[in-house]
A and B are shown apart, each in its own frame.
Chain A
Amino acid sequence: MSLASVLLTVALAILGLSLLLVLGRFVLGPSALDRLVALDALVAVIMCGLMAQVALSRDSAIVPTIVAVSLVGFLGSSTVARFVGRKRSGGGS
């Protein structure tokens, strides 16, 4: 276990902890917008975790999936943001 892999393992553990905290906000979130913000942060934490795993295991097959995850995460949260405020504004804007 070289120093680099020890540091990367600690980074993965920290990312796991922040994943749990973000899920906590996702569960607690009073309004739909809190959950939307939490989901956006969740996607970013998952991307950080994938990149740390790529750095740890040195196999670069995962890197294209990280690009895909970031695209889908953005599309998902912007679509939800588009329709979350719908019921209050009565479908006008």
Chain B
Amino acid sequence: MASSIARGGEDEGEDEEFEGFDDFTIASSWERFISEIEAVCRLWLFDGPKNLVDKGAECLDHPKNLYKVKSELKYGGKDYCLEFYFMINIDGQATEWDDNLHNIQQSFGVNEFLVIAPLSASGVVLDSPESSKLLSSVAIALSNCGSNWPAFVPVHDPSRKAYIGIQSTGTIFTRRFDADRIGSQVPVRLMHMEGLYELFVAKFASFDYPMNYSKVSFGMKLTYRTPPFDDDEEDVLENMEAEVKESEEGNDGYDHIKVQWDDDCPWAEWYSADDPIKGFELITIWPRNTCESSMEMAELENASSFDAEKWSLYPLISPNMIDDSAGKFIGFASQLRLLVGALDRSFDAKFLEDFVSAENIGSDNSNPAVVIPPPTVRDRVLKELFHDGAQISSSLDLENKNSRAIKGTPLESLFAQFCLQSLWFGNCNVRAIATLWIEFVREVRWCWEESQPLPRMPSDLDIDLSSCLIHQKLHLLAICIKKKNLLNHENHTSVEITGQSSDEKGLAEFDRNEILDLPQDESMVDEFDSDSPDSEGTTGNLAVDTEFAVASPDVQKSCPIRKGSAGIVGNMMLLHSFQKMHAPYTQDAPVMTEDMHEERLHAAEVCGDAFSTSGQLEREILSSDMSAFKAANPDAVFEDFIRWHSPGDWESEEIEDRSTGNKEDPDQCNWPPRGKLSQRMSEHGNSWRKIWNDSPALPASEQKPLFDPIREGEKVLHYLETLQPHHLLEQMVCTAFKVSADTLNQTSFGNLQLMKTKLNQLYITLASSLRPLRANRTHDKYELIGDLRRLCLVFENIEKLLIFASSLHRKLRDAPRLTEAIFNDYFNYYLPKMGNSSASICFDKKFSNKQQVNMLERDVVANLFPPPTANQSWRKVLSMGNLLNGHEPILREIIFSVAHRVGDCHYGSNIPWTHTEEIETHRMYIRGTSNDLQGCVRMWKSQMLIASICFEQAYSSDHLLFQKQFH
């Protein structure tokens, strides 16, 4: 094949030279061209669609299922390209308004077709004789091989999208195709249905075939576009490569809407996302109808869009949504990527200060990668962190159930906010973070020194060991500050607190309530009344007693040496002294962070099994409790303590002694209580008794504290101040991922199950991917950073998807079914990218899935088209009719056709497009707006002598006629 083309080329060269000299050569050149076309077509015919696909036919992305093969040919010193478009698996006739049609298919109502075009920049034949000749060549070739494929040649200026075409039908008729376009200044007549109808009627009336006027049938498709949520990009329309020059109203209200759209979204605090949905296009399809007069058509222009048979909607997606080249999308994901970069750098130095000092890396502040934001920015961030924050409420309900599996901190907490601020501090480089951290720690130390409560810290005393270590440390510090304040408070006031001492700070009130743990004390009062037998584990406090001291002054007077009593325990009497048992105030168990626990467990593990002396801390607590008990009950014995502390180990011999005892008069109790210690408690060498014997009588307030807030507080600050860069960054990365996800998780997107699933999956992925960071083991840094970068991509995909979901939800809030359907379509379109986090998949095809709108949802969709404001309407010249809420369609497509009864003898057996006797003899497809109109005509003509000059002339006159009517 190739050689024959080459030979043809040489011949052509000769032909040119001797043109007009030897017509014999000219004829043979054209014939050779025809035979070349014929050879190619025969090959294609022979192969059939299936084989052509197997042989590597190019699949066109947009019209699904459409394939293309091509062959290059030479003729007359020019290169031509012959292309054959075909579909496989055609299930029946494509519907009239199928979205998946090539524009030639749509325009002319054909399935497979040939296109021959010169290989030039414009790809069209500008010269009329040349186009006719080309078409004739193809037609002859096709006829020679008995094919009915329609063939097209692009003509005129490319912007006109003009084609001429021909198809043999195997009958005496030949189909002719003709398309042209008016790119500007469409005559008013052709803007209206009436005019278009008349154009069609005039068109076929001029031909040789008798027509039945009453049978003009038409179908209509109107496309509306919502007023711009955003700027108008060109080529938003399917199948239309025409540049639709948007009218100047594009910028109207554009800034306003764009700034506003995500204002109340949870991420808006940190960044503003481009609205991923630029608008919607609504396609209304009208049922096929027949029309008898142009009046009818004119009336149709006033018909409501609600009369259309079918509505379908699809969103116009912002190109940013699918372009994932770095830097295109600014969101949490982009900042997290920077943070991971900072983590990578953080291994370079041992101390955070190294990153800040001038002589170190990046001493020139000009390098944008290491620029540190100016102090004013830093101060603003610190002010927001420390002064604008309140105590956090435990708003666990906002968190995803999988969120706790990530070692981070609650969203509102100080360190979480520090991490979020860091993400947006400068460009989140390691130097900027180091600067911010050093100032952050300085501020924390100031709070400590000045005994100011740490902001944004949980108010409870239980450190959440599942949070990240820095958060635990800060929490511990917050507790230390409270306890320190309390100590100071005590020193200032007398030991005998009246309970009404005025609070210098609101804090003191808060603390005292908390430390006294009032609810528990109240429950103890209940126990007095009800004589509940179970008063084990009264955990009082280091705090000096207030209420009970007041409540039972007589007791205190009668026992001057009694100290640190939190009140009597039910009706329990001491064994060896006729006195009520008093529960002591005891010290709080020390508050510990994860690392302290681990140290302790490790110690227990090392010596525990071997020496059974585990639980050193618990021993100290027990000893402290015993001392406090002794102080509160000076005459108590070991058994008394056990009765209070571990009632299970006291085997009482009294039957219901507590209930038979007279509640009002404790003197009536059977005294002394009879019973004995349990076997295990009374054994010789019992370690409890040993501790009891070793414990001095000391009230909790006078004991060596189990927990030294000053020491622990300083230790926390030491930890914060000497934290190694990579330890800081590791925890920041974990926390930042978690709180970014938590922030996004608050987005409302309705009931989109897929989105929920994806978010849950994100959390699970985060938890498992971040797990290596949580164990303090030395990891392969490169592998780790690589994994984290991939995680950023995963995050970005979910983030974008979520923004899309949110945008979609707020626009179609009242049509949940439609929202979900559109989202699911988009999700499936987006899915290939999400599965593949490492490579960026190029989206060749545009998202164009259309969702049919239910009757019930039409109102919601119509609301997407707010009636234009006065401002908009005066600028817009409404010219087409078929208004939807005052918006005219951006595109009107009409197919006119006339069917005619054709005798059986007229056509052969192999006509694919008709099975009835009614044959669509004339068809005109019109697509256009008020300033752009494209018309495509298909008509039947009596068989003529193909491959003759007559044909050419007839054809071109035909064409002129059409053009005349257009202009």
**Bound pair: A and B?**
no
